[in-house]
Amino acid sequence: EAMILSTCNRVEIVARADDARKGLREVLAFLANDRGVDAGELDACTYHYLDREAARHLYRVAAGLDSMVLGEPQILGQLKDAYRDAEGAGTIGKKLSQLFQHTFSVAKKVRTDTEIGSSPVSVAYAAVTLAQQFFSDFRKHTALLVGAGVTIELVAKHLKRKEIGRLFVANRNLSRAHDLANQFGGFGLALSDLEGTLPEADLLISSTASPTAVVTLPQMEAAIKARRRKPIFAVDIAVPRDIEAEISKLNDVYLYTIDDLNKVVLEGQGSREEAAQDANRILDEEISRYLNMERAKQVAPLITALRENANSVRADILKQAQKRLAKGADGQEVLEYATAALMKKMLHNTSVKLRQAGENSETKIIAAARALFGLD
């Protein structure tokens, strides 16, 4: 059984083999052959985990504890996609299926029982988190994003998840503004139209590469006047600044800068690191629980055989007892016969083996019998 997980900065193969060491060599040979590199060279830049540590690593990956951004949730979705691809390719069997179902369950438990994902750890997330403290319901408000780079795209993605009412994207490249806005059901506009749209913005977030301010004090004063002093929440992520510093002095504008956001991000990273300690405790408990379940499954066939054998003995003695009753035997006498015969047959093999163990001084077998039958 095998599955490949490939993301922007991670390539991992999760596999099950009867011989783990042989399986590992085969995986490395596959990678080397597929990528056209020397197996020895590849061996020097790979890592591997076996058994318990392999399962624990998979749990950490799914919970975002092994990500560059601690606690990020995207990896779980990527892991589920990889699992579905492997399932569709027919390379997932019973064992890996059980492991992955438990992995997904553990990741959900970590998210639910810890604060690993609650604190902002990116500037884009921090900007939206700050805005959320200002607005009770994003659905009733309009956001104006200035710029069309990676940060603004992330901001738009977070706002979309928060169900922002209306979304405008302003950029010097109008085509880029339209493309980005369309991804999130918004409206694109040229930077030259910014002044006319500014009065509609309850939330303004700017991140451009402009060497000079793109939102000036007169523009903001005019916007506030047009809004009849309805406040604007503004976040300037750019370096150098996109929004003139004097705007922060206006009574109806709440302006935050990249410096404010960096403080939020650092606090968020600290909070997530604390939450990671709780998450690791959950992982330790869950890996022990999973391995206990797997070990228990190994003896399941033995338990089934034991029960089937006992039921066969019971059925045979029941049949004999019913014959005696049919011939008119006393009920009490039949009960005595049935229970004595059942005890004798059930304990016969065990008694023989224990006598042999005593003769051969096999103390482990004797101790096991004491434990199995609760005789300690």
The Cα 191–Cα 312 span in angstroms is 85
Pairing of strands 10-15, 2-7: antiparallel
Catalytic status, residue 45: no
Instruction: Report which of 239, 246, 181 is spatially closest to residue 210, judged by C-alpha positions.
Output: 239
User: Per the residue annotation, which of 5, 6, 8, 46 is the catalytic one?
Assistant: 8
Give, as one character, the DSSP assignment of residue 172.
S
Can you read off the two tokens belonging to residue 329?
A: 């035997």
Q: What angle do CA 261, 145, 178 make, to 5 degrees?
A: 145
The Cα 194–Cα 174 span in angstroms is 12
CB 168 within 8 A of CB 142: yes
Helices (H), the chain: 20-35, 39-43, 51-62, 74-89, 94-113, 123-134, 150-161, 174-183, 194-197, 217-226, 258-298, 300-326, 331-359, 363-372
The Cα 56–Cα 221 span in angstroms is 56
Catalytic residues: 8
